[in-house]
Amino acid sequence: MKEAKKSRELVFETAAYSKEAVELAAYIFSGKCEVKVMPAGKATRVALNGTCDLEVVAGELANEALNQQCRVDLAKKNSRIAGIIVTKALLSACGEEVKVKNGGKK
């Protein structure tokens, strides 16, 4: 006997969760059940369908969306300094002298 499909819906406000973070979280759970991400005005809606325990999956997906949002926020804050570090490392590897902002040399 085939188990009936269940459905569950989550809504993530775009003021707190970027579309990118929600999509990344949804992709992680796409192997457990059917996941569909849709825009919904000032929110992003995620529909879950499947035969697994969707309440558990919904909770885990919400937690993962928060994790992904933290990663997106940190990447935005640290991208400039990360670029500077990579540039200095590549220049040093090429044998170039890397000058520090205050006029000193590394």
What pLDDT is stored for residue 4 in this prediction? 72
What pLDDT is stored for residue 1 in this prediction? 59
Domains of the chain: 6-93 (3.30.70)
d(CA 100, CA 84): 11
What pLDDT is stored for residue 19 in this prediction? 96
Whether 33 contacts 52, CB under 8 Å? yes
Residue ranges of the chain whose pLDDT lies below 50:
103-106
What pLDDT is stored for residue 96 in this prediction? 73
